[in-house]
Homo-oligomer: A and B are copies of this chain.
Amino acid sequence: MMAPLRVGIAGLGTVGASVVKMLQVNGADITRRCGRAIEVRAVSARDRDKNRGVRLDSYPWFDDAVQLAATPGLDVVVELIGGEEGVARAVCETALAHGRHVVTANKALLAHQGSALAEAAEARGVALAFEAAVAGGVPVIKALREALAGNRITEVHGILNGTCNYILTKMRVTGRAFDDVLAEAQALGYAEADPGLDIDGIDAAHKLAILTAVAFGSRITFTPDNVEGIRYITADDIRFAEALGYRIKLLGIARRGEAGSDRFEQRVHPCLVPLGTPIAGVEDVFNAVIAEGDFVERVTLIGRGAGAGPTGSAVLGDLVDIACNRFTPTLGFPVAALDPARPASLATRRGAYYLRLMVSDEVGVLAAVATALSVEQVSIERVIQHSRSADQRVPLVLTTHDTDEAAMQRGLATIRGLDSVGDHCLIRIERF
């Protein structure tokens, strides 16, 4: 039997505790699989006395996670602290500098520092593994980096944030308002006290940046410019979308450019997706990732995108790979071979749109709206005017045929200048 794989765990939140528990519960099977044990040899967290639901007293304790990363006698450091800078970054950099494998669930760190960390790992000949950083327990990184490695991946898209999917599902089912459902999600622990990372799309954009790089073999480029969250979606929009045959999902979408292009699409925003498609049926906190390859065609992976068990499962998968000496370049390719292409501006998108306007119920409004769009060559597909009211604004809902984002935005700017138009909501329609 080979020597055990010696693991240090930096960060003992729910995921860290879950990793320890999995090794305690399933350790014998894991040892049989790997022909060696995976042993926790060091742990670190801020509060030593907190009850984490798992026995920790047999593991050497470090108050300082960076010191753990630097301590001799560890083969792997598991970073579960989180955050794009600070301690988490120092832990990963220190571990790599000491020639230790790193396993992390930290999407924010990877989105910002992933390419540099990949270079550091490659220079030291160690693994930087991060299955847990994208879609929790769903093995999307392994699928893209290894299983589909014979394909040219042309597109990847998915539901990458469970909190947003939970909120949208709950709004649809109950008809309740966004703020109301968000407050409930916070009370239930499904959303953070500071929910911005989730509901403004940043968390999904972090994950999409990683996913794009792994799918296309490019450097990781996080760009906040192409990111919208779900704050502006109303229960009415969800209802109107259903009436039109669509469901509203917050999606991350990446598409390769034409051959030879130095730009690809990489964007996060709410989308109308056709009812009846698999992605429309992925509800509550579940995540989904769909990849399109030139030979495999469409592959769909669905599962829990967060939570102690699923995320811990992904960390364990990475540890088993390392214990079995199965190594893959961080982004699928050696760093020097990565594609230099970068995300294009969202303004270059082409596709259909859903537009809901709150308008005064008076003569000529529809004509003015239609004219503003036709001036920009935006062709209207359907119009629904839902109710009539003498003294308040009523929703005017329309969908367009495929058009350019820039033209649509120009048309919308004109419409927003009309006295008879109040609030609006513009959502992109995606038919995969």
Interface residues of A (CB under 8 A from B): 18, 22-23, 25-26, 29-30, 32-33, 35, 131, 137-139, 142-143, 146-152, 217, 276, 278, 281-282, 293-304, 309-310, 312-317, 319-321, 324-329, 332-334, 337
Check A150 against B327 for contact (C-beta < 8 Å): no
CB of A286, distance to nearest CB on chain B (Å): 9
Which B residues touch A295, using CB under 8 A? 18, 22, 137, 309-310, 312-313, 316
Looking at A29, A276, A304, which has the most chain B CB atoms within 10 Å of its CB? Answer: A29
CB of A297, distance to nearest CB on chain B (Å): 5
Question: Which of B297, B315, B325, B334 interacts with A137 by CB under 8 Å?
Answer: B297
> Bound complex: CA of A362 vs CA of B23, how far in Å?
64
Check B26 against A313 for contact (C-beta < 8 Å): no
Nearest B residue (CB) for A138: B299
> Bound complex: CA of A200 vs CA of B17, how far in Å?
47
Which B residues touch A301, using CB under 8 A? 299-302
Check B317 against A149 for contact (C-beta < 8 Å): yes
CB of A60, distance to nearest CB on chain B (Å): 22
Q: A297-B303, A297-B304, A326-B326 are in contact. Are A148 and B152 (CB under 8 A)?
A: no
12 A-B contacts (beta carbon < 8 Å): A23-B150, A33-B332, A142-B142, A142-B143, A143-B143, A149-B317, A151-B316, A276-B281, A295-B316, A296-B309, A297-B303, A300-B303
CB of A134, distance to nearest CB on chain B (Å): 12
> Bound complex: CA of A229 vs CA of B296, how far in Å?
27
Which B residues touch A293, using CB under 8 A? 137, 313
Check A328 against B326 for contact (C-beta < 8 Å): yes
Check B281 against A149 for contact (C-beta < 8 Å): no
Which B residues touch A139, using CB under 8 A? 139, 142-143, 146-148, 299
Looking at A23, A282, A302, which has the most chain B CB atoms within 10 Å of its CB? Answer: A302
Nearest B residue (CB) for A297: B304
Check B296 against A299 for contact (C-beta < 8 Å): no
Q: Which 10 A-B pairs give the minimum distances between C-beta atoms?
A: A150-B316, A139-B147, A296-B313, A137-B296, A295-B309, A300-B302, A326-B326, A299-B303, A149-B320, A32-B337
Question: Which of B35, B146, B278 interacts with A142 by CB under 8 Å?
Answer: B146
Which B residues touch A23, using CB under 8 A? 150
Question: Which of B29, B314, B333 interacts with A147 by CB under 8 Å?
Answer: B314
CB of A329, distance to nearest CB on chain B (Å): 7
Nearest B residue (CB) for A27: B150
Which B residues touch A137, using CB under 8 A? 148, 293, 295-297, 299
Nearest B residue (CB) for A302: B300
Using A296-B304, A302-B302 as known contacts, list a sample of 19 further A-B pairs with CB atoms less than 8 Å apart, ordered by residue number in A.
A22-B295, A25-B294, A29-B152, A29-B217, A33-B329, A33-B337, A131-B147, A137-B296, A138-B299, A139-B142, A142-B143, A143-B143, A148-B317, A295-B309, A297-B303, A299-B302, A300-B300, A300-B302, A326-B328
Check A328 against B317 for contact (C-beta < 8 Å): no
Check A324 against B327 for contact (C-beta < 8 Å): yes
Which B residues touch A337, using CB under 8 A? 32-33
CB of A341, distance to nearest CB on chain B (Å): 14
Nearest B residue (CB) for A337: B32
Which B residues touch A151, using CB under 8 A? 22, 26, 313, 316
CB of A14, distance to nearest CB on chain B (Å): 12
> Bound complex: CA of A305 vs CA of B106, how far in Å?
34
CB of A318, distance to nearest CB on chain B (Å): 9
> Bound complex: CA of A143 vs CA of B142, how far in Å?
8
> Bound complex: CA of A338 vs CA of B146, how far in Å?
25
Nearest B residue (CB) for A217: B29
Nearest B residue (CB) for A307: B297
> Bound complex: CA of A408 vs CA of B299, how far in Å?
39
Check A149 against B294 for contact (C-beta < 8 Å): no
CB of A184, distance to nearest CB on chain B (Å): 22
Looking at A22, A217, A303, A333, which has the most chain B CB atoms within 10 Å of its CB? Answer: A303
Check B146 against A317 for contact (C-beta < 8 Å): yes
